[in-house]
Chains A and B, each alone.
Chain A
C-alpha cells in the first residue's frame, strides 16, 4: 500500500509526498521539523502557501480536566460532519531526565481506525520559548496536508501554553467543577483568551456553581472583543453530551471571525508573534553557538582580567550573531 520511504529521504521529497497525501511522509516531516533540521525547516516556506484553510482550535485546561477525552469526542463529531481532523497533543518533558511519557493516545483509542484523523503527541523538550514555535510548525504541516480542523491540546499552565492558545483561531478553555475556589480561574490567566468556555464533567455536583462563577467573571471582564461574548458550554466528555453543541459554537466563532474581519486581523497579529518567535529562536541558537565555542573564550578571559569590558564584547557578539548563519 505505502511505497517505502527511506530514512534518508530528502526534506524536499518528504514535502512533495506530504502534499500528495502520504501519511508516513507527514509523520517524518513532523519529526524533522520538531528536531529543528534546517533542510526540513526550509521546506516550510514552500508549504506555507498551501496553508491557511484549516480551522485551528486550541484546547487548554488544568491536568485532569478531560482535555484528551474531549478532544477525542470533538474529533468524532467533526468526522460525523465530514471534516478531516489533525490533533497535536502536547505533554511536558521531564526536567530531570529529558524524557517524557506521552499518554494522550490512551484516551484516543476510538480514533485509531479512522485514517482521516491524524494524532501526534509532542513533548515540550524543555526548549525555552520554543514550544509555541514548534507546535505551530506541526500545525502548519497538518494544514498543508489538508486537514479541515487542527486541534492543539495543551496543559493550560505557563506562558508557552498561553502563546499556543493565542495563536489559535478559536481558543477553548476547559474547566471542571470543584478544583478550588472560584478565584482559580482568574489566577490561571487564561480566561481572557477563551473564545469558548467548557465546563466539562458537567454531571458532577458543583457544575452549576462553576458556570455561574464563570458567567459572573466574564461580565466583570473588560474584554476588547465586545462583539463576541464567549459562550459557556457544559459537556460530559466521557459520554459525549454537549459535544455537538460545542462544535456548533466553534463553527459560529469561526463564522463570527470571518464576518467581522477579525479572522484576518487575528491572523496578522498571530503572524507578528510567529515572526518574532522564529527570529528569537534563531538568534538564541546562534548566540548559544557563538558564546559556547572556543572562539570567544579569550575575550571572556580578557573581561575577567579587566582588559576588556562586557559591553564592548557584547556589541561584537551581537554583530557576529547578526552576520552568522
Chain B
C-alpha cells in the first residue's frame, strides 16, 4: 500500500476544432482499466490549455487525439508550449487520423508514437507500460 510507485498520470487532450471525442473517450477508458490515472480535458483545447493542464497535473505522458488534419500546425505549437513550461521530459504521443506520410516528420519533432485508426488499445497500453518501467528504473 505504500512502497509501490504510484500509477502513471496521463493527459488525454483533443486539440483544435473538431468536436468528435469518441476515440479519446475510448482510449481514456481503456487506460483507466489498465490502471493508469487519466486526466481528460474535453474537446477544443488550445495548445496553451493543453500545456497548462499538463503542468498543473504533473502528467508523465500526453495523448493527443486529432481528426481534423491540423496536426502539422498544432503539434509543434503544443510541443513549444510544453518546452516553455519546462516540460520537455513529458512523453507526447498521438492518435486519430494522421496520414502515414506525416509520421516521420511528427516523430522527428518529438512525437514519440502515432496510433492510427484501427490500432488496438492494447498497443497504446503496451507503449505506456514500457514508459512506466523506465520511470520506475529512474527513480530507484
The interface of chain A, by Cβ under 8 A from chain B, is 1-5, 7-8, 23-24, 27-28, 30-31, 34-36, 93-94, 96-103, 105-106, 109, 112-113, 118-121, 123, 125, 127, 284-285, 288-289
Interface membership of B88, Cβ < 8 A = yes
With A2-B86, A24-B85 as contacts: A99 and B7 at CB distance below 8 Å: yes
Bound: A1/B68 CA distance, A: 31
By the criterion CB–CB under 8 Å, are A112 and B53 in contact? yes
Bound: A30/B58 CA distance, A: 8
Of chain B, the residue at the smallest CB distance from A99 is: B32
By the criterion CB–CB under 8 Å, are B87 and A24 in contact? yes
By the criterion CB–CB under 8 Å, are B40 and A98 in contact? no
Q: Chain A residues near B138 (CB, 8 Å)?
A: 7-8
Can you offer 25 A-B residue contacts whose CB atoms are under 8 A? A2-B84, A2-B85, A3-B86, A4-B88, A7-B89, A8-B139, A23-B55, A31-B6, A35-B5, A36-B2, A93-B37, A94-B32, A97-B32, A100-B7, A100-B32, A100-B38, A102-B37, A105-B57, A112-B46, A112-B48, A113-B48, A120-B56, A121-B39, A121-B57, A125-B6
Task: Tell me the smallest distance from the CB of B132 to a CB of chain A, in Å.
Answer: 12
By the criterion CB–CB under 8 Å, are B39 and A105 in contact? yes
By the criterion CB–CB under 8 Å, are B56 and A23 in contact? yes
Bound: A102/B59 CA distance, A: 12
By the criterion CB–CB under 8 Å, are A106 and B40 in contact? yes
Q: By the criterion of a CB under 8 Å from any partner CB, how many residues of chain B are at the interface?
A: 39
Bound: A120/B58 CA distance, A: 9
Partner of A118, one of B35, B56, B89: B56
Interface residues of B in 24-60 (CB under 8 A from A): 28-29, 31-42, 45-46, 48-49, 52-53, 55-58
Bound: A34/B58 CA distance, A: 12
